[in-house]
Amino acid sequence: MYKKFAIALLLVVALIAVIPSTASAASSVLTIPVSGTPTTGGSFNGTYTVTGFVVNNGALYAVGNLVGSLTNVVTGVVKSVAQTGVQLPVTSTAGSGCPILHLELGPVDLTLLGLNVHLNQVVLDITATSGPGNLLGNLLCDVANLLNSPNQTLATLLNRIVGILNGL
């Protein structure tokens, strides 16, 4: 849930923030550093640049270009990697509950006409639980997840934003 929303929010914020109108500024917003250990051993360091989004079998995928260096730890040989059209799933980490509100209030001391009130820190978490018979929980989870359903409309909107950013 949060990863899809984070990608969409990142693209929207970059668009609204009126970043400088250079191609390098636009591509830097869409470029993500990537590093890791391949299953064959060694290490990989590079970048993934998002070029668009697609829906395959109802799942949302980011499409982009992966470039970097693959280092063999045994021989020390470094190979350049450049792959276009790499699809990475945009996944949700949502569980059975949907976070609705997280509110933290610090301690409050109030003195009013000789009345002293002290309130310690208050933390309020409201979570909706969806499932059979949980009408309010189902409604609130559906509303909270309106932007999280991987469908063609979301992919189309994200592709428009990517196109605008690439045109800067």
What whole-number distance in Å separates Cα of residue 124 and Cα of residue 98?
Answer: 14
pLDDT in the model for residue 65: 92
Do 75 and 111 lie in a common domain? Answer: no
Residue 18 lies in a domain: yes
Do 124 and 109 lie in a common domain? Answer: yes
**Mean pLDDT for the stretch of residues 4-31:** 47
Return the beta strands (E) in 57-130 as ranges.
Answer: 59-71, 78-89, 97-105, 108-112, 115-119, 122-129
Do 55 and 7 lie in a common domain? Answer: yes
Plot region of 23 (φ>0 → left; ψ -120 to 50 → alpha; else → beta) = alpha
Do 115 and 76 lie in a common domain? Answer: no
Do 66 and 104 lie in a common domain? Answer: no
Residue 118 lies in a domain: yes
For residues 140 and 153, which has the higher predicted lDDT (pLDDT)?
140
Do 157 and 80 lie in a common domain? Answer: yes
Do 23 and 103 lie in a common domain? Answer: no
For residues 34 and 26, which has the higher predicted lDDT (pLDDT)?
34
Q: Is the pLDDT of residue 32 over 60?
A: yes
Residue 21 lies in a domain: yes
Which residues span the domain enclosing 128?
Answer: 97-140
pLDDT in the model for residue 67: 92
Number of domains forming the structure of the chain: 2
Do 58 and 22 lie in a common domain? Answer: yes
CB 86 within 8 A of CB 94: no
Confidence of residue 20 (pLDDT cuts 50, 70, 90): very low
- With b for 16 or more beta-carbon neighbours within 10 A and e for fewer, the 39-73 pattern comes to eeebebebbbbbbbbebeeeebbbbbbbbbebbee
41-92 confidence digits (pLDDT tens): 888 899 999 898 888 887 888 899 999 998 887 888 888 989 999 998 876 5
pLDDT in the model for residue 28: 63
What whole-number distance in Å separates Cα of residue 116 and Cα of residue 114?
Answer: 6
Do 89 and 123 lie in a common domain? Answer: no
List, as one string, the DSSP characters of 22-57: -HHHHHHHTEEEEEE--TTSSEEEEEEEEEEEEEET
pLDDT in the model for residue 103: 79
- Residue 5's φ and ψ, nearest 5 degrees, are -65, -40
Do 122 and 110 lie in a common domain? Answer: yes
Do 82 and 34 lie in a common domain? Answer: yes
Do 108 and 29 lie in a common domain? Answer: no
Closest CA to 66 of 31, 95, 38: 31
